[in-house]
Structure 1
Amino acid sequence: MQTEDLALLSGLKVLIVDDEPGALDVTKRMLSFYQANVIVCLSAAEGLKQLQAHSLDVIVSDIIMPHMDGYQFIQAVRNFSPDKGSDIPAVALSVLSEGEAQVKAIDAGFQKYLCKPIRFATLIGTVAGVAGINPGNARQ
């Protein structure tokens, strides 16, 4: 994927949930570089609150988190009503290798699964893809 269009994610509202401040910051910087509007949360519980407070386009969530993991988080999101965000596309991030963890994430309600560390272009392309943005047809 070519990521030459720095406005590729312009206007896209993305919620990032990750209990690791460093990983949260890196993911935010990557998405913000392509002009996404980013809301960050250090816990799944806070992510659920932000979903109630904002109209969002994409969720990017870590899997391994204390208290409520990413699987539980996305299942809670999918139990919301459509007007509260049950159908928001979501990308799972994890240090767990693909395979069983990927199948579990998709079964739980994520559309895509990415392994950390994430390549910049892969994250941007995946977020654009789940949001329905074609790099050749960037959002206006």
Structure 2
Amino acid sequence: MQTEDLALLSGLKVLIVDDEAGALDVTKRMLSFYQAQVIVCLSADEGLKQLQAHRLDVIVSDIIMPHIDGYQFIQAVRNFPSEKGRDIPAVALSVLSEGEAQVKAINAGFQKYLCKPVRIAALIETVADVAGINPNNAH
């Protein structure tokens, strides 16, 4: 995967859910730099509402959030009907180290798990991967 292609995520609609405004802004800037269309939400409740309002391609969600955490959020998404977003690929972002948290995230319904702070190349490559984008056309 090559992150030199600044149009790599062009046309993708990505929902980011994170209760920390600073982290939300950094993640949005990274994805926007690669031309993704980004919708941001400061809570899982708002994320669930945005899923009902938009056709999205990828979800990027924090794990540790008040009220509804990332595990509960993705489980709610996976309980939606297909046409409402049940099958949207999702990436978990968390300060929790890999291991038990990663296993729990995958079991809850995420496809990938990244630790914060995340490197831009790792985030872009992971989002492209779960979205099925292959810049080398080597599928």
Task: Give the aligned partner of residue 25 of structure 2.
Answer: 25
Task: Give the aligned partner of residue 94 of structure 1.
Answer: 94
Task: Give the aligned partner of residue 48 of structure 1.
Answer: 48
Deviation per CA, 1:33-53, whole angstroms, max 9, x where unpaired? Answer: 000000000000000000000
Shift of the alpha carbon at 1:135? Answer: 2.1
Identical positions, percent: 88
CA distance in 2: counterparts of 1:2 and 1:86, whole angstroms: 29
**Structure 1 stretches of 4+ moved >4 Å:** none
CA distance in 2: counterparts of 1:27 and 1:69, whole angstroms: 18
Task: Give the aligned partner of residue 5 of structure 1.
Answer: 5
TM-score, L = length of structure 1? 0.97
> Which residues in structure 2 correspond to 1:117-132 (within 5 Å)?
117-132=117-132
Shift of the alpha carbon at 1:68? Answer: 0.2
Deviation per CA, 1:64-122, whole angstroms, max 9, x where unpaired? Answer: 00000000000000000000000000000000000000000000000000000000000
Shift of the alpha carbon at 1:136? Answer: 1.9
Task: Give the aligned partner of residue 83 of structure 1.
Answer: 83
| Matched position secondary structure for 1:9 | coil
> Which residues in structure 2 correspond to 1:58-77 (within 5 Å)?
58-77=58-77
CA distance in 2: counterparts of 1:17 and 1:115, whole angstroms: 15
Number of matched residues? 137
For structure 1, which runs of at least 5 residues remain unmatched after alignment? none
TM-score, L = length of structure 2? 0.97
